[in-house]
Chains A and B, each alone.
Chain A
Amino acid sequence: MNSLGWKQIVLALVAFGCIALALVGIGVMPFDALSELIRGSLGTKNNWNETLKHTTPLLITGLAVFIALRAGLFNIGAEGQLLVGALVATAVALKMPGLVGAVLSVMAGTIAGGLWALPAGLIKAYRNGHEVITTIMLNNIAAALAIGLVAGPLRGGTGLSTSTDVISESSWLPNVYQDLPFRLSLALPIAILLVWVIAVWIKKTVAGFELCATGANPKAAETAGVEIKRVTVRAMTISGALAGLAGAIQVLAYEHNFYAGFSSGFGFDALGVALLAGASAWGVLPAAFAFGALAKGTTSLQALGVPKGLSGLLLGTIIIVFAAYRYRKVKSHD
C-alpha cells in the first residue's frame, strides 16, 4: 500500500523539472541553487541559528493548526491568534518586568489567542458557520487592531517606527546554549516539549480520542456519545491558545517588542506544516524544521539573483508534491 505509484513520481519530476527550467531561465544553474539553498540554511553557525529561530514559531503554530485539523477544523486564523497573543504578551511584559511578569505574559498571550479563536469555534458548532471564513475575518480584525494599537496607545516613546517599547531584559527567555553567533533559546525546547504533550494527549487520553473521532467522522462520533459541538469549540480554543502562545514566546525569546509587521506569516506557513505533518503530532517536528530551513535557505538564494517569488514557488511545489504523496487515495477493496 505504501509503495509509490508512477503517477506520484511523474508529478515530482514534472514539478521539480519546472523549477529547474525557471532557474535556468534566469541564468542560475539548478545545482548551484540547490547547494546555496543547503549552505544558506545549514552551512554555517549563523545560518543554523537563523533556521532554528525560524523553526520555533512554526513548530508551535504548526501544532496549533494540527490539533484543529485532527478535529476536522481548518484554522486559517493562526496568524491572527499569534498576533493577538504577541500583542497581549508584550503589553503584560511591559507593565510587569521580571520572571513573574514573564510567566504572566505567556499565560496572558495564550489566553488571548484562545479567546480570539473562541468565536470561530462557537459559530462553527452552534451556527454551522464555516471556520475558514470566520478565522480569515478574525485575522483581518487582528491585523488592523495590532496596527491601531502600536500606532496609538501602545506606541513606544522612542524611535519613529510604529512599535512598542522593548521589554525589560529581565523578562527575556534565556538561551540554554550559546556558541556565538549560534544561540539556542529556551523557546525551542519548550516547543518540542509541547509537541510531546500534544502527541501523548491525543494518543492516550479519552479527550484526545474523542477529538480525533469528531474529526474523522462526526456522525459516528456523535453516535458513540461524543459531544461534537463541545469538542469543536474546545479544539478551536486550544488551537488558538497554542497560536497565542507562539506569539508570546516569539516576543519573549526573539523579538522583545511588538511592531507592525511582527509576523512574517508564520500562521499561514503553519497550515503547510500541519498538512505535511500527517496523522501524528511528531510529524510537526520535521515539517516545521523543513519549512524553517527552506525559509532561511531561500533568503540566501536571493544573493544568487533568484527572486523571492521563485523561492515561494519552490516552497509551494514541495508542499503540493508532498501532499500528493500523503493524501493519495487509498484503494479500498470490498
Chain B
Amino acid sequence: MTPAVRMTGITHRFGALAALEDVDFEVAVGSVHALVGENGAGKTTLMRVLYGALQPTEGALFVDEIERRWRNSADAISHHIGMVSQHYSIIHELTCLQNLVLGAEGSFLLPADEMKKRADHLAAKMGFEFDWDAEASGLSPSAAQKLEIVKLLWRDSRIMILDEPTAMLSPVDSDALYISLKQLASEGATVIVVTHRIPEVVQHCERVTILRGGKKVADLRVSETSAELLAELIVGHAVTRPAPTAPNPGAAVIEAQDLVVRGARKDHALKGATFTIHSGEVVGLAGVDGNGQRELFHALIGTLPIESGRLVFAGDEITTTRACTRLMEGMRLIPEDRHEEGVIQDWSLVDNATLGLQRIPPLTNGPWSDLVARRSLAQRVADRFKTKHSGLYKSMRSLSGGNQQRFVAARALELDPKLILAFQPTRGLDVDGTAQVYAEIRNACRNGAAALVASFDLDELLENCDRTLVINNGRVFEPLTGQERDRQAIGQLMVGAK
C-alpha cells in the first residue's frame, strides 16, 4: 500500500530546544491513523510541519511519494492537506456558510445559492445537516467540529489532520465523529488524529504512532496492541495511580436549592438545580456540553446573577454575595476556558498566580499587595504540577497549553481552598498530569475541602470522583442507589432518556 504521507528524519528546533528529533512518520492512504504522546512530546509540532505552518530544521516530507517543501500552510492546503486545530477557528458572528467558505471562496462574487448547494451536498455525504444562514454562535461544540470537517471537504482536503477532536465532545458525539471519519477514510481520504484518549485509539483507529520527548518510540498496528501497552509506551514507564482513598463526607459545604439562572442568550440555562456537596468529597458533574454546566459554574462563583433559588456556602447564604467575597471565603475556580478566563496571556507567571487570589492574605496587607508573597506563591504554583517554564517573570504566553492548564489547576489549590470548582481541570493534560491533578484535588478534599468537577469525559469522572451528579437541560440529577457507577444508567441520565 502506498503511503499518503511519508516524513523522514524530521528534526525541529526552537532555539536550543529540540521539539522533534529525527522522527519518521508514515500514514497509509485510506486509514485512520492515531498520533499519541504526552504534552510536549512533539505531536502538534510534527503536524504543523506536515501542514506547512512550521518549516523543519531537517528532514524530508513526501506526499503521495512526491517530495514537498511547504513555504506556508496555504501551500499545503493547495496540495489537499487540511488541519482542524484543538481550538476551533469558527467565527461566531458569521453565518455557518460564511464560516465554511471563508478564505476559500473560489470566486470574486459569492453566489449564495450555488455555494449552499455544494455545502449541502458535502454535508449530506457525511450525514450532517446545517442551517447555513444561522449564526455560528449557536453551534454546539459537536456541531462546530462537524462544520470544521465540512470546511476541510470544501477545500478538497484528502489528508486531514485533527488535533484532539474529541476534547469537547460527549461520548455519543465522539463515537459519531469516528464513524464519520471512518467513512471518509473508506472513500479514500487519509485521517490523522492527534489525541491523548487511549480508549478512542484502541476502539477506532487502525495504526498508531507514539512520540515521547520529541522522538518516535513506536509505530504499531492497533490490533496488535492494548490500552495498557500504549499507556506504558506513552509515559515511558508503567502508569501507577495513587490508590483512591475513601471519602469522609462531613458537613455540607455548598447547598444549591432550585437555582434558576439565565444564560448568554437570556433563556433559562438553569431551571431549578438542586444539590449538596459535603466537605471531604470529590463530586463529578457529568453531562453533554451545553446543558447548563457553564452557567452553573458562573452562578456558583458569582459572575452570573441567580434569578431565584438559594445558595448556601459553609452555612452562610451567599445567593447575592459578590464574587470577590466568595473567593475570599475559600471558593476556587479552574475555569473552562483557560485562554480567555483563566489567565492573562501577556502577564507574567507571578501576576497570573495572583489572579483570583489577589485580595487574600498573605498576598495582601490592607490595600497593599505583598510582592514577595506573590512571588513565592507563584513558585509553589509552578512547582506543584511541575509546570515547565523559563522564568516566573516570563509571560504566560510562553507556556504551552498543557503547562498553562497545570498552572491554573495548581493555583486553585492554593491558600486553603474550601470549595474547588473545576471545569475540565485536565483539559489537554496527559495521563500522568491527569492523575496528579486528581490526586491533589482529592488530597485537598481529604483535608476538609470539597470539589465539584465538570467534565465531558464520563470515564474520567467515574474513575476519579467519589460520586457523580448528572446535569441535563438545566437540572441536576443524582443516579439511583445502586447505579452510582453504572456507565449505562448515567449515560442515559445525560441525554435525558430515563
Binding site for B on A (CB under 8 A): 203-210, 213, 216-217, 219-227, 330, 332-334
Measured between C-beta atoms, what is the minimum distance from A202 to chain B in Å? Answer: 10
Asked whether A225 lies within 8 Å of B326 as measured between CB atoms, the reply is yes
Q: Which chain B residues lie closer than 8 Å to A330 at the CB level?
A: 395, 397
Asked whether A225 lies within 8 Å of B401 as measured between CB atoms, the reply is no
Asked whether B347 lies within 8 Å of A216 as measured between CB atoms, the reply is yes
Asked whether B400 lies within 8 Å of A224 as measured between CB atoms, the reply is no
Q: Which chain B residues lie closer than 8 Å to A205 at the CB level?
A: 367-369
Number of A-B contacts (CB under 8 A): 79
Q: Which chain B residues lie closer than 8 Å to A209 at the CB level?
A: 351, 354, 358, 369
B322 at the A interface (CB under 8 A):
yes
Asked whether B324 lies within 8 Å of A220 as measured between CB atoms, the reply is no
Q: Which chain B residues lie closer than 8 Å to A210 at the CB level?
A: 358
Which positions 342-383 of chain B face chain A at CB distance < 8 Å?
A: 342-347, 351, 354-356, 358-359, 364, 367-369, 371
Given A220-B340, A223-B341: A333 touches B14 (CB 8 Å cut-off): yes
Bound CA–CA A333/B356 (angstroms):
26
Bound CA–CA A210/B397 (angstroms):
20
Bound CA–CA A290/B157 (angstroms):
55
Asked whether B369 lies within 8 Å of A226 as measured between CB atoms, the reply is no
**Among the interface residues A205, A209, A216, A221, which one has the most CB atoms of the partner chain B within 10 A?**
A209
Asked whether A223 lies within 8 Å of B344 as measured between CB atoms, the reply is no
Asked whether A334 lies within 8 Å of B401 as measured between CB atoms, the reply is yes
Given A225-B322, A225-B359: A204 touches B340 (CB 8 Å cut-off): no
**What does DSSP make chain A's interface, helix, strand, loop or mixed?**
helix
Asked whether B44 lies within 8 Å of A226 as measured between CB atoms, the reply is no
Asked whether B358 lies within 8 Å of A227 as measured between CB atoms, the reply is no
A-B contact list, 16 entries, CB within 8 Å: A205-B367, A205-B368, A207-B367, A208-B369, A213-B344, A213-B355, A217-B344, A217-B345, A219-B341, A220-B344, A221-B355, A223-B335, A223-B341, A224-B356, A226-B324, A227-B323
Bound CA–CA A221/B327 (angstroms):
13
Asked whether A332 lies within 8 Å of B398 as measured between CB atoms, the reply is yes
Q: Which chain B residues lie closer than 8 Å to A213 at the CB level?
A: 344, 355, 358
Q: Which chain A residues lie closer than 8 Å to B354 at the CB level?
A: 209
B413 at the A interface (CB under 8 A):
no
Q: Which chain B residues lie closer than 8 Å to A332 at the CB level?
A: 345, 397-398
Bound CA–CA A204/B363 (angstroms):
11
Given A222-B303, A225-B326, A332-B397: A206 touches B344 (CB 8 Å cut-off): no
Measured between C-beta atoms, what is the minimum distance from B41 to chain A in Å? Answer: 14
**Among the interface residues A203, A216, A225, which one has the most CB atoms of the partner chain B within 10 A?**
A225
Asked whether A219 lies within 8 Å of B358 as measured between CB atoms, the reply is no
3 tightest A-B CB contacts, nearest first: A225-B324, A224-B356, A225-B323
Bound CA–CA A208/B346 (angstroms):
17
Asked whether A227 lies within 8 Å of B397 as measured between CB atoms, the reply is no
Taking a contact as CB atoms closer than 8 A, the residue among A208, A219, A227, A333 that contacts B324 in the complex is: A227
Asked whether B340 lies within 8 Å of A225 as measured between CB atoms, the reply is no
**What does DSSP make chain B's interface, helix, strand, loop or mixed?**
mixed
Q: Which residue of A lies closest to B357 (CB)?
A: A224
Bound CA–CA A225/B303 (angstroms):
8
Q: Which residue of A lies closest to B355 (CB)?
A: A224
Measured between C-beta atoms, what is the minimum distance from B51 to chain A in Å? Answer: 13
Measured between C-beta atoms, what is the minimum distance from A278 to chain B in Å? Answer: 12
Bound CA–CA A217/B322 (angstroms):
19
Bound CA–CA A333/B342 (angstroms):
19
Measured between C-beta atoms, what is the minimum distance from B16 to chain A in Å? Answer: 13
Q: Which residue of B lies closest to A226 (CB)?
A: B324
Bound CA–CA A332/B303 (angstroms):
30
Measured between C-beta atoms, what is the minimum distance from A51 to chain B in Å? Answer: 34
Given A217-B344, A334-B401: A223 touches B356 (CB 8 Å cut-off): yes
**Among the interface residues B322, B364, B368, B400, which one has the most CB atoms of the partner chain A within 10 A?**
B368
Measured between C-beta atoms, what is the minimum distance from A141 to chain B in Å? Answer: 34
Q: Which chain A residues lie closer than 8 Å to B369 at the CB level?
A: 204-206, 208-209
Q: Which residue of B lies closest to A216 (CB)?
A: B344
Bound CA–CA A124/B303 (angstroms):
19
Bound CA–CA A332/B324 (angstroms):
32
Bound CA–CA A14/B322 (angstroms):
54
Q: Mark B117-156, 1 if CB is under 8 A from A, else 0.
A: 0000000000000000000000000000000000000000
Asked whether B356 lies within 8 Å of A219 as measured between CB atoms, the reply is no
Q: Which chain A residues lie closer than 8 Å to B343 at the CB level?
A: 217, 220
Bound CA–CA A224/B359 (angstroms):
10
Q: Which chain B residues lie closer than 8 Å to A227 at the CB level?
A: 322-324
Asked whether A206 lies within 8 Å of B400 as measured between CB atoms, the reply is no
Bound CA–CA A330/B395 (angstroms):
11
Q: Which chain B residues lie closer than 8 Å to A204 at the CB level?
A: 368-369, 371
Asked whether B356 lies within 8 Å of A225 as measured between CB atoms, the reply is yes
Measured between C-beta atoms, what is the minimum distance from A3 to chain B in Å? Answer: 13
B333 at the A interface (CB under 8 A):
yes
B299 at the A interface (CB under 8 A):
no
Q: Which chain B residues lie closer than 8 Å to A219 at the CB level?
A: 340-341
Asked whether A206 lies within 8 Å of B367 as measured between CB atoms, the reply is yes
Bound CA–CA A213/B341 (angstroms):
11
Q: Which chain B residues lie closer than 8 Å to A223 at the CB level?
A: 301, 303, 323, 333, 335, 341-342, 356
Measured between C-beta atoms, what is the minimum distance from A35 to chain B in Å? Answer: 41
Which positions 301-334 of chain B face chain A at CB distance < 8 Å?
A: 301-303, 322-328, 333
Q: Mark B63-90, 1 if CB is under 8 A from A, else 0.
A: 0000000000000000000000000000
Q: Which residue of B lies closest to A205 (CB)?
A: B367
Q: Which chain A residues lie closer than 8 Å to B367 at the CB level?
A: 205-207
Given A223-B303, A225-B322: A206 touches B358 (CB 8 Å cut-off): yes
Q: Which residue of A lies closest to B401 (CB)?
A: A334
Q: Which chain B residues lie closer than 8 Å to A206 at the CB level?
A: 358-359, 364, 367-369
Q: Mark B159-175, 1 if CB is under 8 A from A, else 0.
A: 00000000000000000
Q: Which chain B residues lie closer than 8 Å to A334 at the CB level?
A: 44, 400-401
Q: Mark B381-411, 1 if CB is under 8 A from A, else 0.
A: 0000000000000010110110000000000
Q: Which residue of A lies closest to B45 (CB)?
A: A334
Q: Which residue of B lies closest to A228 (CB)?
A: B303
Q: Which chain A residues lie closer than 8 Å to B324 at the CB level?
A: 225-227
Bound CA–CA A308/B261 (angstroms):
60
Bound CA–CA A207/B322 (angstroms):
16
Bound CA–CA A200/B343 (angstroms):
23
Q: Which residue of B lies closest to A332 (CB)?
A: B397
Asked whether B397 lies within 8 Å of A220 as measured between CB atoms, the reply is no
